[in-house]
Structure 1
Amino acid sequence: MTASLSDLFAFHRNDGLAVGAPDRPWLTYGGLRDLASHSVAALHAAGVGRGDRVAIVLPNGPEMATAFVAIAQGAVTAPLNPGYRLEEFEFHLSDLGARAIVLPEGYDGPALTAALRLGLAVLRLGHDAADPAGWFSLRAESVAPGEPDRDTARPRDVALILHTSGTTSRPKIVPLLHRNLAASAHHVATSLALTAHDRGLNMMPLFHIHGLVASVAASLAAGASVWCAPGFDALKFFGWLETARPTWYTAVPTMHQAILARAARNADAIERAPLRFIRSSSASLPAQVMEALATTFGAPVIEAYGMTEAAHQMTSNPLPPRAQKPGSVGLPAGPQVRIADEAGNRLIDGLGEVVISGPNVTPGYEANEAANAASFFEAEGQRWFRTGDQGRFDPEGYLTITGRLKEIINRGGEKISPLEVDGVLMDHPAVQQVVTFALPHPRLGEEVAAAVVLREGMAADEASIRAFCAARLADFKVPRRVLLLEEIPKGATGKLQRIGLAEKLGLVSPA
């Protein structure tokens, strides 16, 4: 399929509901198309056009969702985390080559300081509480020099640029074309059988590919509606269920776990606002959490597997009547998915590195020949992208991820999957959340450690948790350190991060 983002919602009914939010009227598809036209005209008036990069720094909510969709019709979008510090804004704006920035009316924080230092055109986004959700106006506070390219976006134009997480090295720039995003949106919508009768509840950050594609773009591709919360709040979640009446929501595992922790006292809300399904992605969903969600909500839980370079989705567990397998990320759901030799450029059967090929895959990292040479290869007449994940297919074609290759713990030559240890620890009756990680060791190179959050009202100590593991794991896999924490540090999108955790917890000195 060759299409642009605008094609996703070009032909839906004018009066169909598109975007909603707390205490706001609905924005229709007709209104969304009008908004896109107004936004492109405002970009042109500010000297910004096709091919120019526009950083978007807005709080989570409907305006962030519609700004991404509307601005992409006339320029390249670059959503940034509004929580960045000044140095982070300066790095990202400079590295991305931004020409303009979109900021809320009245904002005078570090993003503005960075933009002024770099000489960017500044556009102010304003809206009124009485406006439909997501409706906004753009006002040029300063204008970019020169005449903009006023052509509309084409399928092979870049629509979105994001940085990789850069946990252990300088972040890489990932350009995603309109056709990459459109393909991935259709892949998600198809795998979830979304129709105009569906409504998604978005709580995911909209500077991240999960929320932008799985929640927003996939809903628009299906002519469905998306109700945008102002971010994740487990205390408000059950009220949102009753207000928005969604048929589904998508989230990362830590969000699901926070929801489960409050589900018992909100059983009435769950009963009054039934869901068709629940989706999880962006990190491994513990099998125990998947089963608890399904039981609590009386709905299938669809774990999917995605990453930025794939414009999000690669595989997905299917809807009933097919099985949703705990511990598996499901079946290929859009691109071709294979296993490759971890060192050689060849496709294999069995355990190895997960690789993908398809219309949703980025054409390559920007200005980074070394990364492209390491991440892409040709085999069987196709170009394959190395995901960096280790996995295998079962006889029914379901993919199981055994871990990130760079997160596999190497204890004196013994390779240990942190996900395997996580799974055992999650079976402990007192454990609510866990992340297994590598702890540097002077003789073995690395040792196994785990950070654990206990269930409310339950008790356990390090010795008892280690003994529980010792009865279920080979000795070399048993964590030598178990840290009992009130909360495990998370990344900006709510994901637990293994790499660097030993340093964050003060177990090793910074390099």
Structure 2
Amino acid sequence: MSVTLQSLLAPHDPDLVAIGAPDRDWLTYGKLRELSDQVARQLHDAGIGSDDRVAIVLPNGPEMAAAFVTIAQAAITAPLNPAYRLDEYAFYLEDLKAKALVVLADDQGPAVQAAQQCGVGILRLHVDPSDPAGVFSLSPDGDVGESPSSGPPGPDSTALILHTSGTTSRPKIVPLLQSNLVASARNIEASLALTSADRCLNVMPLFHIHGLIAAVSASLAAGASVWCAPGFDALKFFGWMKVAKPSWYTAVPTMHQAILSRAARNADVIAKSPLRFLRSSSASLPAQVMTALTDTFGAPVIEAYGMTEATHQMTSNPLAEGAQIPGSVGVAAGPLVRIAHEAENKIIAGTGEVVISGPNVTLGYESNPDANAANFFEADGLRWFRTGDQGAIDDAGYLRLTGRLKEIINRGGEKISPLEVDGILLDHPAVTQVVTFAVPHTKLGEEVAAAVVLVEGQVATDQEIRAFAAERLADFKVPRHVVILDEIPKGATGKMQRIGLAEKLGLGAR
């Protein structure tokens, strides 16, 4: 089995299409391999070797997908969010010890300014719109460094570096090996039974593990194709679907909900472009949304469970008809998945912290022995990673998550799962989105609160929503505060964030 990105692409028919985009010709696998060789030479000539770190700041689209795939075959990639500010770029470039930064040819923005301040070399990415999607060339700004003597990356070479998105502490550096990427791409390929006939419509940001691995790498592992939209836009989604004719797409729950809101007026597109399945990951998909998606698209919705340290996928609902269980993130889909004691380093039965072990799991955080000691442990002859999620595995092997351990609400000693409250509130006919979170309380420590978005045209008061919850939940689980919003604040990847939401909404201690 191939264990580097380069060998992952090697077997595919050169005439098969690989990468597409709006108003562009398709890039074939043969041309993608030629592009990979060209990029390797250009990096070598610019003094970049397989042990050097190359930050990438590009907009979503085919060039970002191709840049990741090709650069990772010759160096270490570090995609960064194009929306960062100057000080954020300076922090990440320094923290990564980046040798070079790849930007668009005419980019003079904060990433370039940060690279100049930090002494990081700049590589300009040039695109001819008449070329197939994803084709580009690189040229360095300024002097070319010495050509490195290092050879191509091996299975144990680092291929991708990402930061965790911590909310209260310094982000941790997660190095992922070539073998990690290949293992995860193969796991997803197998879970979804991908073949060269499949096509993914990618709307996920490509600085995030979800898009890089599930949409791009898994597709390329299967000899399939990926059509790269310029980001997510619910207003344009069905137009892209009509043009791309995908067999599947993958997204976070908030994106799925936005797509659902426009599905009724695009029933003809759905009928003419039938999907084989839909995939959801990176946050819990409410059971109500899974059911609505299945009914709307007439296709199974595959909820998966992933995180950066696992090179994305850990579990996935099976593809077989009727095997998807709403409210569950499925069965182990690559790594071993077990439940561990939340404080002691041992595997247990029942509810506890979800832990994983396998070839797609990072070997550890970089230069962070305290985090490694807290998050990795040895048991039953294996090395386990603590995910930070609480859950339980049923007799059929399906994993149900209770929530992030840090997000479990502790109300005077009573532990409340935000996901449970979310599920109840979403049953209210006027509620379309909800995120339950903790607010500080002077006596209880924490109290339950919820932010909701109403269905367009529907009306409900906070008191009515609380009364609805009170009929279905124990009293201590009922939100004491319900905030009705036009839109719930989201992070850079489209996920709703519970931690810090009370502060964002101005809800202080009561």
Q: Aligned letter for 1:407?
A: E
Unaligned runs of 5+ in 1: none
In the other structure, the counterpart of 2:409 is 409
2:77 alignment counterpart: 77
**Counterpart contact for 1:311–1:362, Cα < 8 Å:** yes
Q: Does 1:318 align with 2:318?
A: yes
3-state DSSP of counterpart to 2:406: helix
Letter in 1 for 2:295: T
**What is the CA–CA distance in structure 2 between the aligned matches of 1:171 and 1:144, rounded to whole Å?**
32
Tell me by how many angstroms 1:143 deviates.
4.2
Instruction: Say whether the 8 Å CA contact 1:253–1:283 is kept in structure 2.
Output: yes
- 1:5: how far off? 1.0
Residue aligning to 1:359? 359
In the alignment, is the contact (CA less than 8 A) between 1:99 and 1:144 conserved in 2? no
Return structure 1 stretches of 4+ with deviation > 6 angstroms: none
Partner of residue 15, structure 1: 15
Residue by residue over 1:72-116, the C-alpha shift from the partner in whole angstroms, topping out at 9 and shown as x without a partner, is: 111100000010000000000000110000000111000000000
Cα distance change on mapping 1:34 and 1:2 into 2, 3 Å: closer
Aligned to 2:383: 383
Shift in Å, 1:121: 1.1
Give the Cα–Cα distance (whole angstroms) in 2 for the partners of residues 35 and 55 of structure 1.
Answer: 19
Q: Equivalents in 1 of 2:349, 2:322: separation in Å? A: 24
Q: Is the 8 A contact 1:74 1:150 kept in 2?
A: no
1:35-434 alignment runs, 5 A limit: 35-143=35-143, 145-321=145-321, 323-434=323-434
| Partner Cα separation in structure 1 for residue 288 and residue 144 of structure 2 | 53
C-alpha separation between the residues in 2 aligned to 1:369 and 1:323? 41
Paired letter, 2:348:
I
Q: Which amino acid aligns with 1:272?
A: K
Report the residue type matching 2:502 in the other structure.
A
Percent of aligned pairs with the same amino acid: 70
TM-score for both structures, normalised by structure 2: 0.99
8 Å Cα contact 2:45/2:147 also seen in 1: no
Q: Which residue of 1 aligns with 2:505?
A: 505
Q: Which runs of 5+ in 2 are unaligned?
A: none
Q: Is the 8 A contact 1:121 1:144 kept in 2?
A: no
Is 2:45–2:144's contact at 8 Å kept on the other side of the alignment? no
- SS at the partner of 2:285? coil
Give, in angstroms, the shift of residue 2 of structure 1: 5.8
Residue 467 of structure 1 corresponds to which residue in structure 2?
467
Give the whole-Å Cα distance in 1 for the aligned partners of 2:8 and 2:307: 21
Counterpart of 1:488? 488
Q: Which amino acid aligns with 2:219?
A: S
Give distance in 2, aligned partners of 1:9 and 1:117.
37
Shift of 1:33: 0.5
CA distance in 1, matches of 2:222, 2:146: 38
Aligned residue pairs, count? 509
What secondary structure, in the 3-state scheme, does the structure 2 residue paired with 1:400 have? strand
Distance 1:261 1:287 in 2: 16
> Cα offset for 1:146?
3.8
Q: Distance in 1 between matches of 2:146 and 2:346?
A: 48
- What is the distance in 2 between the residues matched to 1:167 and 1:269? 40
SS at match of 1:40: helix
Asked whether the equivalents of residues 392 and 401 of structure 1 are also in contact (C-alpha less than 8 Å), the reply is yes
Structure 1 contact 50–149 (Cα < 8 Å) conserved: no
Once residues 2 and 418 of structure 2 are traced to their aligned partners in structure 1, the CA distance between those partners, rounded to angstroms, is: 39
Distance, in Å, in 2 between the alignment partners of 1:7 and 1:392 is 37
Equivalent position amino acid for 1:149 in 2 = S
Quote the Cα distance in structure 1 between the aligned partners of 2:143 and 2:17: 34
User: Secondary structure of the residue that 2:337 maps to in structure 1?
Assistant: strand
TM-superposed deviation, 1:147: 3.7
Counterparts of 2:439 and 2:329 in 1: how far apart (Å)? 27
Give 3-state SS (helix, strand or coil) of 1:348's partner.
coil
Structure 1 residue 142, shift from structure 2 partner? 2.9
- Distance between the aligned counterparts of 1:381 and 1:462, measured in 2? 52
Following superposition, the deviation at residue 129 of structure 1 comes to 1.2
| Structure 2 partner of 1:4 | 4
Secondary structure class of the residue paired with 1:84? coil
1:407 counterpart SS class: coil
**Distance in 1 between residues matched to 2:143 and 2:81, nearest whole Å:** 23
Give the Cα–Cα distance (whole angstroms) in 2 for the partners of residues 146 and 368 of structure 1. 31
Answer yes or no: is the 8 Å Cα contact 1:86–1:110 preserved in 2: yes
Kindly report the root-mean-square deviation, in angstroms, between the aligned alpha carbons of the 2 structures: 0.9
Q: Secondary structure at the match of 2:450?
A: strand
| Pairwise CA distance, 1:322 | 5.0
Match for 1:461: what amino acid?
Answer: T
Deviation at 1:144, TM superposition (A): 6.0
Q: Secondary structure at the match of 1:496?
A: coil
CA drift at 1:309 = 0.0
Counterpart AA for 2:12: H
Contact residue 302 and residue 318 of structure 1 kept, 8 A: yes
Q: In structure 2, how many angstroms separate the alpha carbons of the residues matched to 1:247 and 1:74?
A: 31
After TM superposition, give the deviation of residue 200 of structure 1 in Å. Answer: 0.4
Contact 1:337-1:355 at 8 Å conserved across structures = yes
Q: Secondary structure at the match of 1:406?
A: coil
2-structure distance, mates of 1:325, 1:173: 34
Tell me the alpha carbon deviations over residues 336-384 of structure 1, each in whole angstroms, 9 at most, x when there is no partner. 0000000000001110000000000000000000000000000000000
What is the alpha-carbon distance in structure 1 between the residues aligned to residue 439 and residue 149 of structure 2?
52
Provide the C-alpha distance between the structure 2 equivalents of 1:116 and 1:172, rounded to a whole number of angstroms: 24
Tell me, in whole angstroms, the C-alpha distance in 2 between the residues paired with 1:47 and 1:393: 50
